[in-house]
Amino acid sequence: MTRKKPTTARTKAAGKPKPKGHRRRKPSLDDEVLAFIQSEELDRTAEYVRRGRSHAELSDRALIEAWKIAFRAMASDPDLVELRRIENDLNCEMVLRGIKNPMEDVGDAMKMLIAKIKEAEAELKADPDADGRMADLEKDFAEFRAKRDRGS
C-alpha cells in the first residue's frame, strides 16, 4: 500500500492555476529606488575592500553618523558621483560589520531622493535629448531595471 504525501498549503498553491488576467504587480518607483539602493551590494562591497576599506578605523557609532550625513548629502545632490561614492563606501563598511542601515533616521532624505529621481525621469520623458542632468544616476538606475527584468 502506497502512502499519500500530506497536502500542504504550499503544494495546494503550486497546483492551482493562476486566475486569468493575473499579473505580477509592477513595482512602484519607491520600491524600485529602494531595491536599486540595495542591489549589487556584494559587488560594491568587494570593490570597497579591494580599495583598502578606508573607513575601517571608525567606531560603529561614528560610522553610522557619517553614513547618515553622507546619505543626506547624496540625496540632496544625487548627480554628484563623489557624494554617491562616499555614501556607498560608508554603507559597505557597515555591511562588512553587519550593521543595518538606519534608514528610519534618513526618511526625509529618502523622500527627497525619490522625488529627485521622479523629477529626472519626468524630464527625460518630456525631452529625451535633455542636457543629461543626473546622467550617471539615470544610467545606473536603467541598468538596474534591465538586470532585474532579465532576472539576473
Q: Write the pLDDT tens digit of every residue in 83-105.
A: 999 999 999 999 999 999 999 99
Q: Which three cell numbers stand for residue 67?
A: 553614513
Beta-carbon contacts of residue 81 (< 8 Å; ≥ 6 apart): 136
Q: Looking at the predicted structure, is the pLDDT value of residue 2 above 70?
A: no
Domain boundaries, given as residue ranges, for the chain: 29-150
What are the φ and ψ backbone dihedral angles of 119, each rounded to 5 degrees? Answer: -60, -45
Question: Is the full-model pTM beyond 0.95?
Answer: no
Q: Which residue has the higher pLDDT, 47 or 10?
A: 47
> How large is the C-alpha radius of gyration of the chain?
21
Give percent of the chain with pLDDT exceeding 70.
75
What does the pLDDT read at residue 11? Answer: 46
What does the pLDDT read at residue 50? Answer: 97
Q: Looking at the predicted structure, is the pLDDT value of residue 51 above 90?
A: yes
Specify the range with the lowest mean pLDDT, choosing from 13-17, 24-28, 76-80.
13-17
